[in-house]
Structure 1
Amino acid sequence: MNEDAIRLHSVSRRYGAGDSEVTALDQVSLAVPQGTFTAVMGPSGSGKSTLLQCAAGLDRPTSGSVVVGGTDLTRLSETRLTLLRRERIGFVFQSFNLLPSLTAEQNVALPLRLARRRPSRARVREVLEQVGLGDRARHRPTELSGGQQQRVALARALITRPEVLFGDEPTGALDTHTGREVLNLLRAMVDAEGRTVVMVTHDPVAASYADRVVFLVDGRIESDLAGARADDIATRMTKLEAAPC
């Protein structure tokens, strides 16, 4: 039986105060079982990125709790929260965020160096092989295609063996073919290695790679779909975007 990798309980996130206060998340409760792939979708401004940031410990909720692997993030100091993100959580974003002066293997090893841990060359090569870039270890970002750069970013996220991998539009800057390659890698990590992946996306095809799609509207979970096809997801999104405010 799967345990939950992530649990959000009555999470709200508000910005500003008084008349200018904005509620980005409103009493959101969500459980993500270990070894599953979850996609988060919703209209623009629905709170998708805020949900991801709170679940990953990048932002603190105004109220409610976020538990990752049994640890309540809302109770941690900033120092302990930083350590947890560094050691137990991986991130892949739409922008690759690679350092142009470093080779692929140096970019991959960077999280370990920042944690003052000596990176094993064998481990670095292992994750580069895992994403299909074993022969590009000494190439710099300018010598790699966009898809290859995103795979380096994925390898960098995997180097610490994170409990959960978060992706914020990880295929948004890629062409269709390359994006599918990255999605197949994420899917394989869940199926073959039992990793947990949570991904924000606007693309119904990308979301169809997930086990479950969670739909947000106005900071609240409106519905979800399990094992859905891309056309079913697109239909649901069209209805949500067309719904009256």
Structure 2
Amino acid sequence: MEPLLDLRGVRRRHGRGAAAVTALDALTLGFGAGTFTAVMGPSGSGKSTLLQCAAGLDKPDAGTITLDGVELTTLSETELTLLRRDRIGFVFQSFNLLPSLTAEQNVALPLRLGGRRPGRRQVRDMLAAVGLAERGGHRPAQLSGGQQQRIAIARALITRPAVLFADEPTGALDSSTGRGVLDLMRDMVDRHGQTIVMVTHDPVAASRADRVVFLVDGRVAADHPAMPAPAVADLMTGLESAPAVR
């Protein structure tokens, strides 16, 4: 089957001249529908650039990126904005909830920004899906960190995106709360067929994925099916200590 998200020969350099850095080096990767992929790698390996290019936030210098049959590299800025609004969800380490809005209002926000009138049941069903059906009237300051991240996930999923991109989604949470968020993401894949691409430094978080991709110097250094956390940590340590190959 064709991957839902397909990157082929993607190159991206930052800066100019002698100071230029190659963030992605002819990278080719595919992500299947209904899968959960963790992307790992040392600092500067290209993880964030991969996420930004795949989500249409940054344009590659070469190569193609196709999401659900649409080639992102041919779209205008307006078309990219509409695609991100309707087909892509984002979850970050910082929750980015609006403090003056209730949980329900935060979740409904992407629909309102897109000119759609959110149905109250639709919003409540999404809150129920993340285990916060009774917290719809609470503002972020009245919620724990884990609950705020669940609200952020519900907000990202309200538009039913083709892909959910998560950038260190448990990085600001304690281990117990982080496990709850990972359980939720795992459930979204297993029960609802959501496609998730997650950048993480945490071997425990990566162990919840179906697949772990390791980047080094903008290239795929290793690509494995589901791995236990100790194996992820061992491989990560080996990649970080290995000399760069050009």
| Whole-angstrom CA distance in 1 between matches of 2:160 and 2:64 | 24
Instruction: State the TM-score, normalized to the length of structure 1.
Output: 0.98
How far the C-alpha of 1:21 sits from its partner, in A, is 1.1
Amino acid at match of 2:11: S
**Deviation by residue 1:20-65 (Cα, 9 ceiling, x = unmatched):** 2111111000010111000000001101011011111111111111
Task: Say how many residue pairs are matched.
Answer: 244
Asked whether 1:21 is paired with 2:20, we answer yes
Amino acid at match of 2:102: T
Amino acid at match of 1:72: E
| Whole-angstrom CA distance in 1 between matches of 2:156 and 2:174 | 21
| Whole-angstrom CA distance in 2 between matches of 1:51 and 1:115 | 26
Identify the residue that residue 193 of structure 1 maps to in structure 2.
Answer: 192
How far the C-alpha of 1:176 sits from its partner, in A, is 0.4
Asked whether 1:81 is paired with 2:80, we answer yes
How far the C-alpha of 1:18 sits from its partner, in A, is 1.2
Asked whether 1:110 is paired with 2:140, we answer no
More deviation, 165-174/17-26: 17-26
What RMSD, in angstroms, separates the aligned Cα atoms of the two structures? 0.8
Secondary structure of the residue that 1:171 maps to in structure 2? coil
| Whole-angstrom CA distance in 1 between matches of 2:31 and 2:92 | 20
How far the C-alpha of 1:195 sits from its partner, in A, is 1.0
Asked whether 1:156 is paired with 2:155, we answer yes
| Whole-angstrom CA distance in 1 between matches of 2:123 and 2:129 | 10
| Whole-angstrom CA distance in 1 between matches of 2:191 and 2:2 | 18
Identify the residue that residue 34 of structure 1 maps to in structure 2.
Answer: 33
Identical pairs, percent: 68
Identify the residue that residue 210 of structure 1 maps to in structure 2.
Answer: 209
Q: Mind listing any 5+ residue stretches in structure 2 that lack a counterpart? A: none
Secondary structure of the residue that 2:53 maps to in structure 1? helix
How far the C-alpha of 1:156 sits from its partner, in A, is 0.1
Q: Mind listing any 5+ residue stretches in structure 1 that lack a counterpart? A: none
| Whole-angstrom CA distance in 1 between matches of 2:159 and 2:33 | 17
Asked whether 1:53 is paired with 2:52, we answer yes
Displacement over 3 Å in runs of 4+: none
How far the C-alpha of 1:15 sits from its partner, in A, is 1.2
| Whole-angstrom CA distance in 2 between matches of 1:41 and 1:170 | 13
Amino acid at match of 1:148: Q
Amino acid at match of 2:134: D
Alignment of 1:89-100 (within 5 A): 89-100=88-99
Asked whether 1:240 is paired with 2:245, we answer no
Alignment of 1:128-143 (within 5 A): 128-143=127-142
How far the C-alpha of 1:3 sits from its partner, in A, is 3.8
How far the C-alpha of 1:243 sits from its partner, in A, is 1.0
Asked whether 1:224 is paired with 2:223, we answer yes
| Whole-angstrom CA distance in 1 between matches of 2:158 and 2:63 | 31
Secondary structure of the residue that 1:166 maps to in structure 2? strand
Secondary structure of the residue that 1:184 maps to in structure 2? helix
Alignment of 1:164-179 (within 5 A): 164-179=163-178
Secondary structure of the residue that 2:198 maps to in structure 1? strand
How far the C-alpha of 1:244 sits from its partner, in A, is 2.1
**Deviation by residue 1:186-207 (Cα, 9 ceiling, x = unmatched):** 1111111111000000000100
Amino acid at match of 1:231: P
**Contact map agreement 1:43 1:241 (CA 8 A) in 2:** yes
